[in-house]
Amino acid sequence: MFGFYRFAAVSPKMKIADIPFNTAEIIRNAQQCAKQEVSAAVFPEMAVTGYTCGDLFFQTALQNEAMNAIKKIAASFASSSMILIIGAPFSWRNALFNCAFVLQSGKIRGIIPKVYNPNYREFYDKRYFKSGATVPDGTSCRNAVPFGTDLLFTCDHNFSFGIEICEDLWTVIPPSSQQALAGATALFNLSASNALVTKSQYRRDLVQRQSAHCMAAYIYTSSGVHESSTDLVFDGHSIIAQNGRTAAENQRFHRDGSIIYADIDLAKLKAVRACESSIGDAAGEKEFRDIHLSEVFTSPTLEYTHIDANPFVPDNPAERDTHCEEIFNIQSAALAKRFEHINAQRLVVGISGGLDSTLALLVCAETMKLLKRPMYDILAVTMPGFGTSDRTYTNAAEMIKLIGAEFQEINIRDACMLNFRDIDHDPEVYDTTYENVQARERTLILMNIANSQNGLLVGTGDLSEIALGWSTYNGDHMSMYAVNCAVPKTLIRYLIAWVAENSEKKLRAVLEDIIATPVSPELLPNTRKSEVNHKTEDIIGPYELHDFFLYHFIKYGAEPEKISYLAALAFSGKYSQEQILNTLKIFITRFFRQQFKRSCIPDGPKVGTICLSPRGDWRMPSDACAEIWLERLENIGK
């Protein structure tokens, strides 16, 4: 469903050379996978015989029984489209190979030999097996079954996979790298990796890194504790990774077998390759035969994946702190460079007491530290208007004071009333004109002050507002440098909280109250001055939904049906399907209609993988039509 596929990494119980027992265990575990509607399941290296058979591999009886076992396993799933990838020895032209057998619908669809056989320290694989590199490309064996290292398997336009075996991954250029260049979105590894102190962490890192290098799913499984312990112990480690992150991992040293599952979005991985990498420019050195398989199950429920409701904000507190520090450093370094380049004398910033201007002021303060300049070189201007609340005004004034910037207050009410008179607008009509006059008046003041002070006007608008066009054209839309332009609204609270945690007590208290204040432009008259009554999210919907939509729409090009489905899972119990669809409609409509504002936004630093700068990450005509997306949105649920 929507490009998701369910993969399983299986490490079953086994007995060395007891092929009937091992076959029964493989079938039993595979049946469990079938009940879970798995697309493909991988079993360990030499799962049929056991990896530690030693010279028993030379026994014809063992070899023949292993082939009979593979046929029996295949026949057991003749009515299933699930793919099984199982390790077993294979004899071909007077040589023995360590192989992966690909089974589907009762047939052997391909046999892939291991390329790199270790022959150092405790491993003596070359004593038994020839390298798959000795098998000529294009080879077929019994019953015309494709055999060789040049096999790539395709189920549909999203799911194409390659296979490598254990040591192959540990080499300088793993076979999976070539497979990924040829289009494989999933990579399977059948392994028998022994346990050593710290080896499991290295193995985990290796799998994660390879999945990141290849921008693919990497499904790895290894032999367990029932291998021979004569000299070595095997821990049955299984890992499923996607694009650098672990999606599932088992507990090692299990005695009853282990199966882990993960629902992997292969469509997303394809999108990453298309828009965020140069993988298409890297010509693979190896030609592959494309083996077409039947279409498989796609994940029906996504119970084996986590859909992050806040994709811009790391769940792990330590990772989140590192994330915030890095972003804050990027913003400050960028502003310092621009400040020095134009030989400015001061930073000018408008402070409302809201989230965006607060973060901008904090970045200005850090920039002054970097440049070893006094905080007084920051001119912080607060401009109360018709909707300014006591809460935001007080927080703005107190924060400026505590930071040590110069404070200036300019009330814009009289100037706005004069503007209303000049354009013949009734100030009792609270329409777009009423709101935008205030926003443009504030920007006019700030621009002119910056000129008078030989200053640089620092913009405050964030990525979420830029995506929605939630700004006044040539009002808060404009500045001389926009430090928040790539920071989404859901992340800004965490950035301010990170600064607050490292601030003295009084400033921390002010910052925490700003974080707790509802988001508002404060442009409409406020009868209760103590509270914020003009709430942005009451008008356009929750920012956490908009940021969720933005992430999946921009980063992965997800269609409306997929975005709404994922949102329903991520926000289950919080927002109804109707709320999600209504907010998504607002997002799509505004995103297309407001592109003209993005086409002429100021410079600003990119801090994450999503940015809407017209000079770099997002190039879109200002008059593009949204009908395709809106029509598909309307058809959801029909």
Evaluate whether 385 touches 438 at the Cβ level (below 8 Å). Answer: yes
Pull the structure tokens for residue 201: 């962490």
- List of E strands, 351-399: 378-382
Q: Is 492 helix (H, G, I), strand (E, B) or coil?
A: helix
Q: Is 428 marked active-site?
A: no
Beta-carbon contacts of residue 599 (< 8 Å; ≥ 6 apart) = 614, 622
Pull the structure tokens for residue 333: 């370094």
Catalytic residue among 13, 25, 33, 45: 45
61 residue type, one letter: A
Which residues are bridge partners to 9 per DSSP? 42, 260
Catalytic residue among 25, 33, 114, 585: 114
Evaluate whether 99 touches 114 at the Cβ level (below 8 Å). Answer: yes
| Cβ burial, residue 217 (10 Å; 0-12/13-18/19+) | buried
Four-CA torsion 381, 384, 387, 388, nearest 10 degrees: 70
Pull the structure tokens for residue 603: 């410079």
Pull the structure tokens for residue 281: 């420019």
Evaluate whether 158 touches 267 at the Cβ level (below 8 Å). Answer: yes
Q: Is 382 helix (H, G, I), strand (E, B) or coil?
A: strand
Pull the structure tokens for residue 592: 């297309």
Comparing C-alpha atoms, which of 494, 490, 498 is closest to residue 519? Answer: 490
- List of E strands, 443-513: 455-459, 481-482
Evaluate whether 442 touches 350 at the Cβ level (below 8 Å). Answer: yes
Three-state SS string over 91-157 comes to EECCEEEEEEEEEECCEEEEEEECCCCCCCCCCCHHHCCCCHHHCCCCCECHHHCEECCCEEEECCC
Beta-carbon contacts of residue 408 (< 8 Å; ≥ 6 apart) = 379, 380, 381, 382, 449
Pull the structure tokens for residue 362: 């904090």
433 residue type, one letter: T
C-alpha 633, offset from chain centre: 24
Evaluate whether 39 touches 268 at the Cβ level (below 8 Å). Answer: no
DSSP state, 603? P
Q: Is 114 marked active-site?
A: yes
Comparing C-alpha atoms, which of 251, 144, 272 is closest to residue 200? Answer: 251
CA 530 → CA 160, 180, 412, 516, distances in Å?
A: 60, 59, 19, 14
Catalytic residue among 33, 99, 155, 166: 166
Q: Residue 97 and residue 189: Cα distance in Å, rounded?
A: 16
Angle at which helices 489-501 and 355-370 pack, to 10 degrees? 50
Q: Residue 499 and residue 327: Cα distance in Å, rounded?
A: 12
Three-state SS string over 536-589 comes to HHHHHCCHHHHHHHHHHHHHHCCCHHHHHHHHHHHCCCCCCHHHHHHHHHHHHH
What are the phi and psi torsion angles at 211 (to 5°)? -65, -30
Pull the structure tokens for residue 31: 């049946």
| Residue 300: Cβ within 10 Å count | 12
Q: Is 166 marked active-site?
A: yes
Beta-carbon contacts of residue 636 (< 8 Å; ≥ 6 apart) = 560, 561, 564, 581
Residue identified by tokens 């999976």 is: 176
User: What residues are annotated to the active site?
Assistant: 45, 114, 166
